[in-house]
Amino acid sequence: EGVSKAYAKRRTQISASSEAEGLSTMQKAQNRLKNTVGSAFQAYFSDVEQAPPDAIFGIKNMYSKDKDPNKINLSVGAYRDDNGKPYMLDVVKKAEELLVKDSSRNKEYLGIDGHPEFRKLSAQLIFGKDSKVLGEGRVCTAQCLSGTGSLRVGFEFLAQFFPRKTVVYTSKPTWGNQNTVAGKAGFKTASYRYWDSKTRGLDFKGMLNDLEKAPKGSIILLHACAHNPTGVDPTLEQWKAIASVIRERNHFPFFDSAYQGFATGDLEGDAQAIRYFVAQGFQMVVAQSYAKNFGLYGERAGCVHIVCPSAKSASALSSHVKRIIRPMYSNPPKHGAEIVALVLRTPELFKRWREEIKIMSGRIIQMRKTLRDELVRLGTPGTWDHITSQIGMFSFTGLSRPQCELLINKHHVYLLYNGRISMAGLNSGNIKRFAAAVNAVCKALPNSK
């Protein structure tokens, strides 16, 4: 019994000692890991400098920090009502009410290429219900993350099949993210002339000349309507001439459609360039967004469409698009797609949506007229007819960078440094103050470049 007690006591001592040694060893290992990880992070990231802010969101942040009660934000491309408030479409509210009451819904994952009905109806909206290519099954469609996501998937797709030397041509100027997205897919970018600063309109001859000189087989990125940032669109006859050059040079058209219906209130008219190219037999990629025309900015609803030579190739290419999406974001969000699909398939909701996009586009058209009239009344130096000849959310004012800087720093009016303003940011309560500020900077810096 004495031996047993001594043995048990010794076992307890050994166990305690081993546990203490184990904890000591573990602590040492953790300290070594901590020091290693710490030094690694310090070595890799300690000298990283602050990245430059996004041009648009950087100005938005400046606006947020401004304490002036009369400040005006014309930088971000999001619709506002005449009270300057975000606008949620009535038809979207109604669709959400109906969706909430639908007990058959669930929150399961969508497929890699998204909501089937949403894809089908989106293709019909952009190409037309009676489109020949849809009837022949020659369009491959995938739901993507709004316009930017659709551009990204589209360029990643093209990067798999085009030679790496292929250049993507974008308009000068263009929405800055287009060049960035094309570059992320491995493409080099170049520009074709678009804005004529003297006429404050389309440099049509310059555009055609640059497309003719671009290497054969280039990718040409085109704005389907309501060009961002200029608000200047080609006429249908000009689109026909552009298509002729693209065909002659064997270029590949890529349309960015972010404003269908929102540009003019006419869904069919805003899609006329895309439908003309399709009717002429072009293969193409189309990026489609519902941020503006449905007000679904945060829902990230959109599609990429690829017009293919046959139904067989459309099926094959769909498999490649899925292989791009799967490791990128796996599958798209569901809620926005359900809203759009419900509205597009329900006649009374679709009718109400068409009415609301006319209301939104109509308010912007009225703001254009009011702004031009007020600038003329004030005797503001320069010509301002381009304010009303441009269409869509944005206006390329023609203001110089120094004039824009003066608007921001002295008048608390926030716009992009290239002179682009969001017409949706103007309303009956601030438009005269904005016009007075523009008048002041144009007189203070009349010859500014």
Where in the sequence numbering do the catalytic residues fall? 175, 256, 292
Q: Kindly tell me the sign of the dihedral angle through the C-alpha atoms of 291, 293, 296, 302.
A: negative
Tokens in use for 70?
């009369």
Position 64, amino acid: S
Q: How far apart are the first and last CA of the chain?
A: 103
> What are the start-end ranges of the H helices in 217-346?
236-248, 272-279, 311-329, 335-345
- Would you say how long the chain is, in residues? 449
Q: Kindly tell me the sign of the dihedral angle through the C-alpha atoms of 431, 434, 440, 442.
A: negative
> What is the radius of gyration, based on Cα positions, of the chain?
28
Asked if residues 425 and 78 have their Cβ atoms less than 8 Å apart, the reply is no
Q: Across-strand partners of 306?
A: 140, 285
Residue 72 DSSP SS3 = strand
How many angstroms separate the CA atoms of 282 and 250, rounded?
A: 10
Q: Where are the beta strands (DSSP E) in 246-290?
A: 252-257, 284-289
DSSP state of 220: E
| 248 CB burial (10 A radius; 0-12, 13-18, 19+) | exposed
Return phi, psi of residue 430, to 5°: -125, -5
Instruction: Give residue 413's region: left, alpha or beta (phi > 0; psi -120 to 50).
Output: beta
The angle, 0 to 180 degrees and rounded to 10, between the axes of the packed helices 272-279 and 236-248 is 40
DSSP state of 331: S
